[in-house]
Chain A
Amino acid sequence: MRFNEKELVSLSRQPSERAAELGMRGPKKGDVVKKRLVKLIVNFLFYFRTDEEEPVGALLLEQCRVEREDDLAFSIAFLDEAERKYLFECDTQEQCLDWIDSIIKASYEFMRKNLIFYRTEIHRLTGKDPLEQYGISDETRFQVNTSLQPLPAPPT
């Protein structure tokens, strides 16, 4: 798949939500833990070899599961067929928890769920749809039931 690499590398140089040197291990058998500078920017996790300008890689933080592995480590599993898991080792428990929190909150899926929750609640509490004032109430991404299939008609 082609992608706009230069622009993505440029993104990796922007201010990050969170950045630290962590131990990182890839998903394949035989992968070992390597020290990497890990940077969370928007919904991408960039990882660099220490002192290198260009990231080694970029992980899109969508459709993934973040789990606490032990006191100091968390993992990110991507939900494609292979369910590949990346492991990250932190220096402290607090750092580990902070990373888990930040990664979870970075995804569009997370933001969308929260938006829909607030939209529904505000409407319940005030009778008004907060998205109406912005003229964006019809956007697909803010609809409650977008990913649900309609129920089949009941038997007559």
Chain B
Amino acid sequence: MKIHGKILNHYISCSSSVDKEGYLYKKGEVNTSYQKRWCILKGNLLFYKERQSERDVLGVIVLEGCAVQLCESEEKFAFSLVFSEPGLRTYKFAVEDQPSQESWIKALLSANHGYLTLLLKDLQEQYLEATRAAGEAPADPQCLWGDTMASHPQSWGPGPGSTFYTNPPAPDVRDSAGHNSQQLLQATAALAKAANKRSPKLWPKRNALVAPINCPAPPQGEWSEPTEDFGQMHEEFGKEVKELIADWLRQKQGEGLGEGDLIDLG
């Protein structure tokens, strides 16, 4: 399948801002050592270069359909991107410290298209509510950027005169969203239900997105009803990431993991 690398190259090198960048240790597929790579997260794409100053991009990982997990590794502060369909890959990464680990995990968890779609829908509803309360007519955001069209790549053309955000039919996230959005929504619902009964050590089996080390990712098809509430989803994610990392740290400290560099930086 052709990926149209020129489009990707343009996307990564154009002036629009990136979401997150920094050095990550990436485990190779053929050469299975961890190699330091300058990584750039932009949208749902994780690009990687040999170093920051390098102009050429080595590769890109499309972040749809993957879960982010802490992983058992000889490296400290490791995490992996797990593509759950059979035959698909797991990408392993490691960073220097716990704050970086947490920061990258959060960024990667919320990079997928479904997350942003849900957030947008949520803000749209809040906006409509706010205009109603203030007695204002809601505006169509597209009209307001009319004079910036020349500078902004996206132009609307003689489109359907879209009043998408002022009279929206509620998008059915269950049908239209991609694979990973389904997981997000379903994971949140499962988490919300299990939250009160769960002990700190146990994990609701249904959460594939942030999973402990020795739980296999649950197979598809076990999920409960998806939620369409971004707020709920977000709450749960934040909490779970923090708890997971705290749990893991406690576990490691209990095992008396020695200090000292596990990664030889040369």
Contacts and interface: CB of A to CB of B under 8 A. Distances in A.
Contacts of B153: 63-65, 79, 109
Given A7-B83, A118-B141, A122-B127, A104 B154 contact: yes
Contacts of B230: 134
Nearest to B125: A118
A42 interface: yes
Interface string B106-120: 000010111011011
Nearest to A43: B113
A104 B159 contact: yes
Interface in B118-134: 119-120, 123-124, 126-127, 130-131, 133-134
A21 interface: no
A67 B157 contact: yes
A22 B154 CA distance: 22
Interface string A72-91: 00100011101010000000
Contacts of B139: 121
A135 to B, nearest CB: 6
Interface of A is mostly: mixed
Contacts of B175: 15
A97 B158 CA distance: 8
A121 B43 CA distance: 23
Given A15-B178, A134-B231, A139-B19, A125 B157 contact: no
Contacts of A54: 1
Given A59-B4, A121-B127, A147 B44 contact: no
Interface in B22-63: 43-45, 57-62
A41 B117 CA distance: 13
> Which of B17, B83, B231, B238 has the most C-beta atoms of chain A within 10 angstroms of its own C-beta?
B17
* Best-buried of A58, A60, A140, A146 by chain B (most CB within 10 Å): A60
Contacts of A139: 19
Interface string B1-30: 111111111110011111110000000000
A105 interface: yes
A146 B65 contact: no
Interface centre among A2, A67, A105, A141 (most CB of B within 10 A): A141
Interface stretch (B160-168, B207-215, B249-257): B160-168
A1 interface: yes
B37 to A, nearest CB: 12
A14 B45 CA distance: 18
Given A57-B1, A101-B159, A104-B154, A111 B116 contact: yes
Nearest to A48: B1
A66 B154 contact: yes
Interface in A90-138: 97-98, 100-101, 104-105, 107-115, 117-119, 121-122, 125-126, 130, 133-136
Given A109-B154, A147-B17, 11 more contacts: A5-B3, A6-B89, A7-B66, A14-B179, A16-B176, A55-B1, A63-B11, A63-B16, A78-B7, A122-B126, A140-B17
| 7 nearest A-B residue pairs (beta carbon) | A2-B59, A57-B2, A42-B113, A80-B10, A118-B123, A125-B130, A108-B43
16 contacts: A3-B3, A3-B8, A3-B60, A4-B83, A6-B88, A56-B2, A63-B11, A65-B154, A79-B14, A80-B6, A84-B6, A100-B157, A111-B120, A113-B141, A134-B119, A134-B235
